[in-house]
Structure 1
Amino acid sequence: MDAQLAVIGLGSIGSMALWQASRLGGSVVGFEAATPAHGRSAVGGDTRLFRMVYLGKPDYYPIIERSRSLWAELEAETGQEILTPTGGLSIGTVNGRFINGLLETARANGAEHRVLSREELAKRYPQHNLRPDDCALYDPRAGVLRTDRAVSAAVTAAQANGATVLQNTPVDSITETDHGVVVTSGDRSWTFEKVIVASGGWSRRLMPDHLKAVTETHRIVLTWFVAQDATQFSPENFPVFSRLYGDRSLYGAPAVDGVTVKASVDGPLDGRGRETPDPDSVPRELTRREIEKVTEIVTDFFPGLIPTIVRADAFPDLFTEDRHPLLGWLDENSRVYCATGFSGKGFKMATGYGHIAAHEALGKQTIGGLDFVRPDRFKIR
């Protein structure tokens, strides 16, 4: 054996799995096709939203709780500021499906939150142009994550704990044998007891056919705008936000660079819906329709932003058929563990997912209640 464990892909989840595995004392090797936090991966785009008030399955809440603690541990271990507290706003129609769904999940989880009326919202956060029937859920524990810094910190911490990192080493194949898993890159090969596949949009190349059939690589578009008064949109004054009104959906983050505000379309039309078969050839330029769509919404929602896109980019991520991750062994006898398919919403919980993957791959105890993310839910059809 070359090592006990290999982690393939050192992006959002793989970097955290490598860090967590290195803390457990096992021998671990990380494979990265380019370099950690490279600009073409799903890590790209500087920031991601962290929220405790989460729309969807209550089953995610223990992972979010664990993730928040682990972000703090990564900061303490590396001396890096990764999660900047800002609070978070979810804005929608009073008694609408969006707000009611958030309330239902928050109450089921016991997540701290406060409902803000339109009047309270307008007074506290005048940056938002509100409709008469708007209200918001305020999440006091939300914030903004620095993606590049997080991944780099996790990889550096893992190396300090003894992990080996192989950069510019794209994996061509993984093959299970009676004794382990053979990982091949070009004319080189290594053998490990177990392997974690965490290569995001590139994971399909290493998956069995029945999982390829229920996954797609999608293109995620991010856009930034300049504020007329940057102080209004600073992390101290402008919480991370998501907003839904009719068919318009937008999310974003404050001006962490002191200049530009992230405001991106979130929805099946453009934000997360465009399939990209080849993650190496994701179209980075926005189409005219995409530019018009996001500019129209930003002009409507934020009169304090200059309605011209000053920066835009696009990144690949792997989406599953049911939009829940693939987290677990390929099957009960496999030595290959999946940590992929996070469907455009994995980074906030990256430390938690990395913790689960590393602990389970090394035979350690972790949290329960994870049947909804197990790969075997997509049995061979």
Structure 2
Amino acid sequence: MSIRKRVAVIGAGSMGSQAMWRLAARGAEVVGYDRYAPGHDRGAAGGESRIYRAAHLGEPGYIPLLRLADRMWEQLQAETGRSLRRRSGSLVMGEGASPSMRLLLSTSAAHGLDHEVLDREELARRYPQHRLPDGHTAVLDRLGAVIRPEASIQAAAARAEQLGALLHRYTTVREVVPAAGGGVRVVTDQGTDHVDAAVVTVGPWINTLLPDLPRTIEVRRVVCSWHLPTRHDWFAGGAPPFVRATPHDCFGIPSPDGISVKLGLSFKYHAPVPEPERLDRTVRPEELGIFRELIGELMPDLNPDPIRMSAYMEGYTKSGNPLVG
């Protein structure tokens, strides 16, 4: 269905760049704004890699959306000629009797997802990089993949521009309000524009731009660390990205160059960020402790001393679900 409207997309990151692409493809006159430029490292998309998972630990209703996303990733690669995702499979590990793992298995079976349950012995045979505590199990999601986030954002934004979108880089939007005569008024540090509708995808800047939003968005500081294996064969067998469910609450992604492994932590480890423009990007030695503990218990063939640590930020709703409306 064609869209004959002038639409502003505010924030050209993970969500905004894709929104620009799809709106432009459907005939909308798209005007994008970003306070930096697509692919920057100040938001939630930094760090060179993300996990695509079809087998989801959360609500079953996401499965059709994840399947659509899978098709759209393939379409974006085809339209841009860029390699944006590597199909590697992915692992989810956790307590076999936990509600989240039981839900993952029942949902995967109900939706016919291509997956396999691996017990402790089978995981050790196929993926000796990992250790499973007693009572834990692993699920191999064969549709899992590693996404290149910065490249994907730039590719989607560039494709939108090819389709006629206009993107204002390094432009800060100060205000988005209903216009008196209808539509939306967009006020930036460069001037004012009028559009029929606006899509706001500013991530951790949402509270600054829309302070009266009825739902609270909590901005958190996310720390990731990169570690070298101590075994030369650590990446043998594909070394898929992985998620460790409660109680460990972490994830890991082998780097695209096959040299290191990026580790990240779940929400409960993330410190609040009072103001996005004042994100503390310095990672201190004491923040390494939890990474060292996880490596010692679950991935002993990684060097606990990182070659890199970086801080990013992300906005979260109380439920952990995306906010659309």
Q: Could you state the TM-score of these two structures normalised by the residue count of structure 2? A: 0.93
Q: Pick the aligned partner of 2:283 from 283, 286, 304.
A: 286
Asked if the contact 1:263/1:298 (under 8 Å) is kept, the reply is: no
The answer (yes or no) to whether the contact 1:224–1:309 under 8 Å persists in 2 is yes
Residue type of the alignment partner of 1:259: I
Structure 1 residues 242-287: Cα deviation after superposition (integer angstroms, max 9, x where no partner): 1236x3222111131221111222240x2xx321121111122234
1:109 CA displacement: 3.1
Give the alignment of 1:266-285 within 5 angstroms.
Answer: 266-268=266-268, 270=269, 273-285=270-282
- How far does the alpha carbon of each residue in 1:73-111 deviate from its partner, in whole angstroms, 9 at most, with x for none? 000011111110111111123323342132133234332
Query: 1:76 pairs with 67, 75, 78, which one?
Result: 78
Q: Distance in 2 between matches of 1:244 and 1:30?
A: 37
Q: 1:235-274 residue pairs with structure 2 within 5 A?
A: 237-244=238-245, 247-268=247-268, 270=269, 273-274=270-271
- The alignment status of 1:205 with 2:202, answered yes or no, reads no
Distance 1:96 1:326, change over 3 A: closer
Whether the 8 Å CA contact 2:222–2:265 is kept in 1: the answer is no
Shift of 1:231: 4.7
Letter in 1 for 2:193: W
Residue pair 1:58, 1:108 contacting (<8 A) in 2 also: no
- For residue 67 of structure 1, the aligned residue among 66, 69, 91 is 69
Name the residue aligned to 1:322. Answer: 319
Q: Which amino acid aligns with 1:182?
A: R
> Does residue 1:45 correspond to 2:47, yes or no?
yes
SS at match of 1:13: helix
Q: Per-residue displacement from partner, 1:108-148 (whole Å, max 9, x unpaired)?
A: 43322211111111101011123243321110000110001
- What CA RMSD, in Å, does the superposition of the two structures yield over aligned residues? 1.7
Q: Count matched residues.
A: 320
**Partners of 2:291 and 2:10 in 1: how far apart?**
35
2:228 is aligned with 1:226: yes
Give the SS at the match of 2:14: coil
**Structure 1: distance between partners of 2:238 and 2:319:** 36
Q: Distance in 2 between matches of 1:230 and 1:180?
A: 59
Identity between Structure 1 and Structure 2 (%): 32
Give matches, 1:16-55, under 5 Å: 16-55=18-57
What SS is found at the alignment partner of 2:8? Answer: strand
Q: Distance in 1 between matches of 2:119 and 2:101?
A: 12
- Tell me which residue corresponds to 1:128: 130
1:167 aligned partner: 169
Pair 230,79 (structure 1): closer, same or farther in 2 beyond 3 Å: farther
CA separation of 1:230/1:278 partners in 2, compared to 1, >3 Å: closer, same or farther?
A: farther
CA distance in 2, matches of 1:284, 1:129: 31
| 279-288 or 186-195, which deviates more | 279-288
Q: 1:237, CA displacement in angstroms?
A: 1.6
**Residue type at the aligned position of 2:240:** P
CA distance in 2, matches of 1:58, 1:173: 36
**Residues 219 and 276 in structure 1, CA contact (< 8 A), matched pair in contact too:** yes
The gaps in structure 1 that reach 5 residues or longer are: 329-381
Q: Which runs of 4+ in 1 moved over 3 A?
A: none
Offset of residue 288 of structure 1: 4.0
Aligned to 2:89: 87
Aligned pair partner of 2:109 in 98, 107, 110: 107
In structure 1, distance between residues paired with 2:46 and 2:85? 16
- Unpaired stretches in structure 2, ≥5 consecutive residues: none
TM-score by length of 1: 0.80
Over residues 156-175 of structure 1, what are the superposed CA-to-partner deviations in whole Å (9 max), with x where a residue is unaligned? Answer: 11111111111010101112
Offset of 1:222 from its aligned partner?
1.4
